[in-house]
Amino acid sequence: MAKRVVIAGAGYGGVACAQHLQKHTRPDECEITVVNKLPYHSMQTQLHEIAAWSREPDEIVVPLEYLFDTRRVQIGVDEIDHVDLENRQLVVREGKPIAYDVLILGVGSVPEYFNIEGLAEYAMTLNSVQNAVKVRKAIYHALEMARENPDDPLWSTILIGGAGLTGVELAGELADNLPDLCERVGISPSKIRIVVVEAMQTVLPGMDPDLVSHAKQYLEEKGIQIYTGVPIARASTDLLELGDGTQLRSKTIIWTGGVRSNPILEASGFECAARGRAKVNEFLQAEGHEEVFVIGDCALTIGENGRPMPPTAQLAEQEGDWVGANVIRLLRHEALQSFHPDIVATVGSVGRHLGIALFKGGRKHFGGFAHFLKSGVNWQYWLRIGGLGFLFHQWFHRHWQQPLPLESTETEALQEVQA
């Protein structure tokens, strides 16, 4: 009898896993179900481009129906509440519990607030298309209000808390787009201040020092004010208070200070480590639950240096693909294979035209080529998950603004987001 394989979450890992299983299994081996809160998959690595007005939201999403052969993969759109480990079922908010023989959990991450007072209430985040749209609207609104209230720093200041890759990508993109946005609104860009606060001594802590210094220099040349070595200690309406007592006032506060695993894992009783990431074995099975594989931001993956690996899209994709292959081995009673990540390079953008790239051999780039590499990674991803037709579709859409053929549910979801 076909085993019930359920994939919770259609992020980078979930999509890679489901596509692997769809391609390499027979219907008599397994029934594949993908459960996701929303009817689309989104390119999380481009959320800053939505927030900073470089792209429209529908440019970075793809309906799930487009990604899977729906004769082979059942798609369930529902919010996952928790995993009932004892009865082997996924408990969802709207529908009936979904029973599984094998479960793959790739439900992503949520913002990590480190218990900083007021942050969850008063800061926006950049962890979903909906939230990126909120940020985008808030920025535009702030510019309009700054035009009407020229001497009010509450509207003319945009605060970004946390200068990891998310914070730096957002700050750079926004600074590059500011002249256009300001022209549209009718205000001088010189009236608007972007401020970035980073708790560690540099922006992009842990990154190669040369790349850090190039990135910092570029951001400062763009007029961004950077505070380093001082943490955000408290947030309240219109205010960020730093550890040294500095008070920064703004109506537009964006928190990019880090992520933790989706709380579903802890709530379901998985053995979790720092930042709620589930402990997994070398095959990416959850500790004590061999029928459950955990991937992406939810899994505590230990790198070759013995330290936890940063949760990136690249890692999630590799884990999803690997787990797909291991699930097939499990179904065929073959020995599972240990996961060995292969992170070829870390690439990120610093503004609309520049980027940083650090290859595993130590080779590094700052500038246009690195930005081109990041765009190349995006195109390669679309090609991998959607094929050549979809890649062309995205290309034409981007350049000639033709509408993405969204399913009705998808259109409604996005309209809701954009309302």
The single residue among 6, 124, 197, 316 that binds ligand NAD, judged by CB under 6 A, is 197
Q: Does 199 bind ligand NAD (CB under 6 A)?
A: yes
Enumerate the active-site residues: 169
CA atoms within 13 A on the CB side of 14: 30
Is the distance from CB of 155 to CB of 197 less than 8 angstroms? no
Q: Which of 342, 317, 326, 335 is nearest to 285 (CA)?
A: 326
**Span interacting with ligand NAD, options 186-194, 214-222, 320-328, 340-348, rule CB under 6 A:** 340-348
Q: Does 370 bind ligand NAD (CB under 6 A)?
A: no
Nearest distance, CB of residue 369 and ligand NAD, angstroms:
15
Q: What are phi and psi of 315, to 5 degrees?
A: -65, -45
Q: Does 161 bind ligand NAD (CB under 6 A)?
A: yes
Q: Which residue is nearest to ligand NAD (CB)?
A: 164
Nearest distance, CB of residue 415 and ligand NAD, angstroms:
27
- Six-digit token pair at 160? 């970004």
Is the distance from CB of 374 to CB of 349 less than 8 angstroms? yes
**Span interacting with ligand NAD, options 10-18, 20-28, 159-167, 178-186, rule CB under 6 A:** 159-167
Q: Does 198 bind ligand NAD (CB under 6 A)?
A: yes
The single residue among 5, 259, 294, 316 that binds ligand NAD, judged by CB under 6 A, is 259
Q: Nearest 10 degrees: CA dihedral of 45, 46, 51, 54?
A: 160
Q: Does 310 bind ligand NAD (CB under 6 A)?
A: yes
The single residue among 131, 252, 312, 378 that binds ligand NAD, judged by CB under 6 A, is 312
Q: What are phi and psi of 324, to 5 degrees?
A: -55, -45
Nearest distance, CB of residue 26 and ligand NAD, angstroms:
36
Nearest distance, CB of residue 160 and ligand NAD, angstroms:
10
- Six-digit token pair at 361? 């051999």
The single residue among 32, 51, 60, 116 that binds ligand NAD, judged by CB under 6 A, is 116
Q: Does 125 bind ligand NAD (CB under 6 A)?
A: no
Q: Please give the C-alpha separations between residue 248 and each of 53, 94, 240, 362, in angstroms, as whole numbers.
A: 24, 42, 5, 38
Helices and strands in the chain, H and E counts? 12, 25
Nearest distance, CB of residue 223 and ligand NAD, angstroms:
20
CA–CA–CA angle 198, 203, 205 (5° rounding): 100
Give the residue with the Cβ less far from ligand NAD, 186 or 361: 361
The single residue among 11, 348, 351, 386 that binds ligand NAD, judged by CB under 6 A, is 348
CB-count burial class (<10 Å; 0-12, 13-18, 19+) for 363: exposed
With contacts defined by CB under 6 A, how many residues of the chain interact with ligand NAD?
Answer: 28
Nearest distance, CB of residue 131 and ligand NAD, angstroms:
12
Give the residue with the Cβ less far from ligand NAD, 45 or 261: 45
Nearest distance, CB of residue 310 and ligand NAD, angstroms:
3
The single residue among 39, 63, 76, 258 that binds ligand NAD, judged by CB under 6 A, is 258
Percent helix / strand / coil, the chain, rounded to 5: 40, 25, 35
Using DSSP's 3-state secondary structure scheme, residue 6 falls into: strand
Q: Does 165 bind ligand NAD (CB under 6 A)?
A: yes
The single residue among 39, 63, 76, 164 that binds ligand NAD, judged by CB under 6 A, is 164
**Span interacting with ligand NAD, options 143-151, 255-263, 268-276, 282-290, rule CB under 6 A:** 255-263
Q: Does 232 bind ligand NAD (CB under 6 A)?
A: yes
Looking up tokens 């890759």, which residue turns up? 165
CB-count burial class (<10 Å; 0-12, 13-18, 19+) for 396: exposed
Is the distance from CB of 5 to CB of 101 less than 8 angstroms? yes
Is the distance from CB of 278 to CB of 265 less than 8 angstroms? yes
Tallying the residues shown for the chain, one arrives at: 419
Cα 72 from chain centre: 27
CB atoms within 10 A of CB 100: 23
**Span interacting with ligand NAD, options 3-11, 209-217, 271-279, 308-316, rule CB under 6 A:** 308-316
Binding marks (x or -) toward ligand NAD, 35..64, rule CB under 6 A? ----------x-------------------
Q: Does 162 bind ligand NAD (CB under 6 A)?
A: yes
**Pairing state of beta strands 247-249 and 239-242?**
antiparallel
Binding site for ligand NAD (CB under 6 A): 45, 114, 116, 161-167, 169, 197-200, 205, 231-232, 256-259, 310-312, 346-348
